[in-house]
Amino acid sequence: MYRIIISLSCIILIQNSVVSIEYVFGNDKVRLARSASSDPFLKPENTGEEGGHVSEANILFTIDEADKKPVEDVVEKNATEKKKKRIVRDKKKKSILDQKLVSEYLKKGKNFEARNELSDLYFKETDRKYRNEIKNKLDELNEILVFSKVPSPDAVFYEVKSGDSLVKIAKKFDTSYAFIMRINNKSRTLIKIGERLKILKGELSLLVDKSDYTLTILLDGHFIKQYPVGIGKSNKTPVGVFFVDNKLINPTWYSPEGVYKYGNPKNVLGTRWIGFEDRNDLYGYGIHGTANPGSIGKDMSNGCIRLKNENVEELFDFVKTKTRVVMQE
């Protein structure tokens, strides 16, 4: 009698186990390999009921299906990779063609066209070594086109007349007298009747690139000259478009800790200040020199752009109020 009761109990237990398995996996004879609750690929929809059973229809996808990638995804990935390779290949071809074009211009003595083409190449190039080679060639060409008395499409020549002064001439051409002096390599403001002065035309602007710590002077968008700079610590240097508002020689520094006149060891502004127009919540930014040349090429300022004193003094003569300054990452 006891044996019969025990046997019946075993049968009942086995049947309950089978029923439990069927509740979880359906009735198509799927074997229980491991607990459904521990399998990350068996994700039933949440019915909002506690203790509810999971039917086969609730399973989003199976372990086998998870290992398979849809054909559409593979095709799309391959197409994307091919497109990327084609873009890189096309860029290389374009770069080679541009270099050939520059060589042709240089052979024909077309320095202006070569400079403009090289300028475009410089800003497109991502290889740092080749970019530096382009910059060196740009510096050579701009020494001729901009910083010499050689005629150039970048400039016009003005013949000094009776009653002229550098200030009057600068006003006539909407530039600064100091810029005219720089271009014509003049150390004094004295001019003579009949003297021919080279004056740059076109729009001058500045581009600050935080990623490589540089400030580039642009003339009608073309590379003219570049300086290494220091920028703000903890990403304090903002990005965007600014305009020059004021210029100061031997500036006083109004710091949070106090007011320090030029020459004070605590004055960090160096020999020049080129201030920007305030913009909403951005105020007090600008370009200046430095009492610490070792900070150039580093993130050490309070947000302003800093240059070596000899560089900021030259830049100071190039820019005027309303000069556009673009600061980018």
Q: Please report the beta strands in 220-307, taking only residues with DSSP state E, as ranges in sequence order.
A: 222-228, 231-232, 240-249, 253-255, 258-260, 272-276, 286-288, 299-301, 305-306
Query: Higher-confidence residue: 173 or 5?
Result: 173
Residue of 298 and 32 predicted with greater confidence: 298
| Residues with active-site annotation | 288, 304
Q: Residue 279: what pLDDT? A: 86
195-217: average pLDDT: 96
Indicate the angle between helix axes 128-145 and 111-124, nearest 10 degrees. Answer: 150
Question: Cβ distance 316 to 274 under 8 Å?
Answer: yes
The pLDDT of residue 225 is 97
Place of tokens 């002096």: 181
Residue 280 pLDDT grade (very low, low, confident, very high; cuts 50, 70, 90): confident
Of 119, 99, 112, give the one whose Cα is nearest residue 226: 119
| Whole-number average pLDDT of the chain | 81
Residue 21 in this model has a pLDDT that exceeds 60:
no
pLDDT at 179 over 80: yes
For 149-188, letters b (16+ CB in 10 Å) and e give eeebebbeebebeeebebeebbeeeebbbbbbbbbbebee
Distance CA 251, CA 272 (A): 6
pLDDT, tens digit, for every residue of 182-201? 999 999 999 999 999 999 99
Question: Could you tell me the two tokens for 172?
Answer: 């006539």
pLDDT at 266: 92
How many angstroms separate the CA atoms of 181 and 161, rounded? Answer: 17
pLDDT beyond 60 at 302? yes
Domains of the chain (ranges, CATH numbers): 2-66 (no CATH), 71-145 (no CATH), 155-200 (3.10.350.10), 204-328 (2.40.440.10)
Over residues 281-295, the pLDDT tens digits come to 888 899 999 999 999
* Tokens 């980018």, located at residue: 328
Structure tokens at 65: 């299906």
Task: Tell me what pLDDT residue 327 has.
Answer: 97
pLDDT digits (tens, 9 = 90+) for 261-279: 999 999 999 999 999 999 8
At 90-119, the pLDDT tens digits run 455 456 667 888 999 999 999 999 999 999
Residue 77 has pLDDT above 70, yes or no: no
3 state SS of 10: helix
Q: Which two tokens stand for residue 284?
A: 């007090």
How far apart CA 323 and CA 205 sit, in angstroms, is 6
Could you tell me the end-to-end alpha-carbon distance of the chain, in angstroms, rounded to an integer? 88
In which band, very low, low, confident or very high, does the pLDDT at 212 lie, cut at 50, 70 and 90? Answer: very high
- The yes-or-no verdict on residue 53 having pLDDT over 80 is no
Distance CA 145, CA 139 (A): 10
Percent of the chain whose pLDDT exceeds 70? 71
Q: What does DSSP assign to residue 42?
A: -
